[in-house]
Structure 1
Amino acid sequence: MNTDRTHDIATMLLRAARRKRLVSYQELHALFGRDEPLHSRYRALEDAARSLSDCASLDYGCLMSLDNGLPGDDFFNRFRHGRPREYEKVMGFGSAGRSTTKKRLIADAERRRVFEHASQMTVSVNANGSSGAYAASKCT
């Protein structure tokens, strides 16, 4: 795993959160070479999102945006597995998770939480003076 790439993605996500904007998957993929496998890219995205919050209930991956404005299946899969009760409450018991209206409810609520979290984070400064996105922060 390329830690520089993970750091770049985390920085991109944090910057977007502070500006209350979304990140397109095209922006994510532009950080990688053509021959980098998709599973590697999404693993780096997941690692970057986890580096921004040690909270099991907060996922910076929600800031990713497809053409329809929703994050991709990677986010919804993490959400469904990490917070099954919350997922079920919105999507319904036994839901296949296809409703874009209900997905939008989940994504919008998570994005509001992430925007709030990012506004309260402090940025760490490395020894060389460059800022890093890996600041320890707890959700309240």
Structure 2
Amino acid sequence: MSGLEVQRLASRDSQIPVIFITGRGDVPSTVLAMKGGAVDFLTKPLDEDALTRAVDAALARAHVLRKAAEDTAALQALYQSLTPREQELLPLLASGLLNKQAAGVLGITEYTVQVHRGHIMRKMQADSFATLVRQA
């Protein structure tokens, strides 16, 4: 199995950063590796500084990806804490509808929308409506 095939298989299951090290790199392989998400494509003999920079870049990318996945999971957990009605209301509010307009769409009173909106803000741990819109 070639390195490009291993990269393709690994990228299906995870977002592990990949550094290619080869003794006989060519331009088409390099292009395919980089398009596949490789952090770097190094040729032998290795330059120690280039390898160190590539590993540092790979670790930084892994950290960013892990943080993004954790943030997404936390946000998803907050969203799942909403009731079905609150989940129905959130996209209406985030799309810019006024409370009165969202109430009309859902066939409920404006006061009920205000109550649900307060619950949504608390459950989503949003300190402002702008934060809630970004989360949505």
Scaled by the length of structure 1, the TM-score of the pair is 0.29
Which protein has the bigger helix share? 2
Larger Rg belongs to: 2
